[in-house]
Amino acid sequence: MRVLGIETSCDETGVALYDSERGLLADALYSQVAMHAEYGGVVPELASRDHVRKLVPLIREVLAKANLTSKDVDGIAYTEGPGLIGALLVGASVARSLAFAWNVPAVGVHHMEGHLLAPMLADDKPDYPYVALLVSGGHTQLFDVQGLGQYQLLGESLDDAAGEAFDKTAKLMGLGYPGGAVLAKKAEAGRAGVYTFPRPMIDRPNCDFSFSGLKTAALLAWQDSDRSEQAIADIAHAFQLAVVETLVKKCQRALKQTGRKRLVIAGGVSANLELRTQLDIMLKKRSGKAYFPPLKYCTDNGAMIAYAGCQRLLRGEQMDLGISARARWPMVELQ
């Protein structure tokens, strides 16, 4: 089965074509980061308009890359939610219209399920069951994954997501938007021990997270610093270390509670090299293994939606002609 995947949940327009037998055939991605950087964050109306402008040309580009036509597409998957409602409606409207015109089934995909399944696009794929850490700009959650659609929530952030805390901390130090990746790069030049930030909630016997206090600690350190490049690097180093150690500790607890040996890490923050390194070390000590998406599929993309949609369509799932989009959509509802 060949499935066209469409991702328009926020500020990136992603399109991909996935074949259930041959794997990923082609994909394309357009980022709106440069446009939104001028405003210091995503402007929803501008995001929606840009999706309208770029989506159809990207679909044509992907079909051309795969040397296929619309007649070769067996199904369409699109991000139904969660996300910016206007942006979601662009993808949903185009997907449903094409499915009707091409006479193929369509299915709405949960954005975070797409991230959760993104490691399946790598050569080294995990087997079920496993623990999954979804860590991005909008979500920090731990799930026990027993199979497709079988997700038990183990813990989540009670305030800021990890990626959100990265971006906000970078912004308060004047590193621009989005600043999370810049802050991680600055951390490489930071000196260990200059600053020590709290590891929120690691002493509590659960798998929940909290990063708002850590963000405040970084702000206070920045206000008391000399604002030099070295100060930025030192604060970035201490901040990243606190986030990484907190995530690793909670993952370790989730693995112990479930008895799992496999850990899947997905979402934008899964591209953080320090996090990857420390999770690999922790899993090896437990005789387990960590699985990550390919770096290009850590952030929002059409490939993960095409893959997730393909799995759903292969199970016989499909939607009616109604255009459906959800700004909020808890993953536990996928049961």
Known binding-site positions: 111, 115, 134-138, 167, 180, 272, 300
Which residues belong to the annotated binding site for Fe cation? 111, 115, 300
Asked if 128 and 240 count as a contact pair (C-beta separation under 8 A), the reply is no
Question: 24 pairs with which residues across the strands?
Answer: 18
What tokens were used for 156? 């989540």
Tell me the three state secondary structure of residue 191.
Answer: coil
- Report the distance separating Cα 255 and Cα 233, nearest Å: 33
Phi, psi of 265 (to 5 degrees): -120, 125
Cβ neighbours of 185 (radius 10 Å)? 14
**Neighbouring C-beta atoms of residue 326, cutoff 10 Å:** 18
Return d(Cα 321, Cα 323) in angstroms, integer: 7
Q: 3-class SS at 135?
A: strand
Structure tokens at 169: 């901390």
**Binding site membership for substrate: which residues?**
134-138, 167, 180, 272
